[in-house]
Amino acid sequence: MKNEAFDVRDVVQRLIAEESRAEHSSDKGSRAAFRVCDKLRKSLSTLVGTTGFRLLLIRALNLAKAEAAGLDNARINPNGTVEFASEIESGQSPDDASRGETALMVQLLGLLVTFIGATLTRSILQDVWPEAALIRPESGEDKS
Partner 1 sequence: MKKSPKASVRAPALRTAAPPGGKVAIRKLPTGVRGLDEILGGGLPEFSFNIIAGAPGCGKTTLAHQFVFANATVRSPALYFTVLGEPPIKMLRYQQQYSFFDATKLSKSVRFINLSDVVAEKDLNAVLARITEEVASACPGVVVVDSFRTVMKKNSGLVQSDHYQQSFIERLAMLLTSYQATTFLVGEYSESEVHDNPVFTVADGLLLLSQIAERNSVVRKLQVVKLRGQASVPGLHTIRIGNSGLQAFSRTFGLVNGKAMSETRKRLSIGIPELDKLLGGGIPEGDSVLIAGPSGTGKSALATQFINAGLLRGEAGVIAIFEERPAKYAARAADLGLNFKTPQKTGRLEILYLRPLDLSVDETMQEILEAVHKTGAKRLVIDSLVGFEMALSPGFRADFRESLYRMIAALTGVGVTVLSTVEIEDSFTAFQFSHYAISFLTDDIIRLRYVEIDGQLRKILGIIKMRGSNHSKDIREYVIDDRGVVIINPRRTDYTALTSGLPRQVGEKKEPPPEAKALN
Positions touching partner 1 (CB under 8 A) are: 1, 45-52, 56, 112, 115-117, 119-120, 123-124, 126-127
Q: Residue 28 CB, nearest distance to partner 1 (Å)?
A: 31
**Which residue, 85 or 116, has its beta carbon nearer to partner 1?**
116
Closest CA to 97 of 132, 71, 75: 71
Q: Min. distance of Cβ 51 from partner 1 in angstroms?
A: 6
CB atoms within 10 A of CB 117: 16
Nearer to partner 1 (CB atom), residue 93 or residue 115: 115
Instruction: Please report which residue ranges of 22-93 form alpha helices under DSSP H.
Output: 32-65, 87-90
Length of the chain: 144
Nearer to partner 1, 32 or 112 (CB): 112
The nearer residue to partner 1, 20 or 45, going by C-beta atoms, is: 45
Angle at 83 between CA 80 and CA 89, to 5 degrees: 170
The Cβ of residue 5 has, within 10 Å, a number of other Cβ atoms equal to 19
Kindly state the smallest distance separating residue 124's Cβ from partner 1, in Å. Answer: 7
Minimum separation from the CB atom of position 50 to partner 1 (A): 5
Exposure on the CB side of residue 69, measured as CA atoms within 13 A: 4
